[in-house]
Amino acid sequence: MGGGSTLRTGEPWSDMDDRDLKAELAAGRSVSEVAAFLCRTADDVKQRMAQLGLSVRFFTRSGELKTG
């Protein structure tokens, strides 16, 4: 891979980032795996999850977002 960091820490989260975050969590990925996929730190992902009111416990075993 090329030189330099590709981390997007501090950059605003787009709607697509949020969709990808939710999809990756629904697929059962860990916070670390999601962070790597989104080129963010695990702390960035945890912070965004908190802002969106998400937790890995909000997803069913099948990956569906729990409602109610």
Q: What's the alpha-carbon Rg for the chain, to the nearest Å?
A: 12
**Domain chopping of the chain, boundaries:** 15-55
Return the pLDDT at 55. Answer: 79
pTM: 0.74
Q: For 9-65, what is each residue's pLDDT tens digit?
A: 889 999 999 999 999 988 888 889 999 999 999 999 999 999 998 876 655 555 555
The residues, any chain, with a CB within 8 Å of residue 58's CB and separated by 6 or more, are: 65, 66
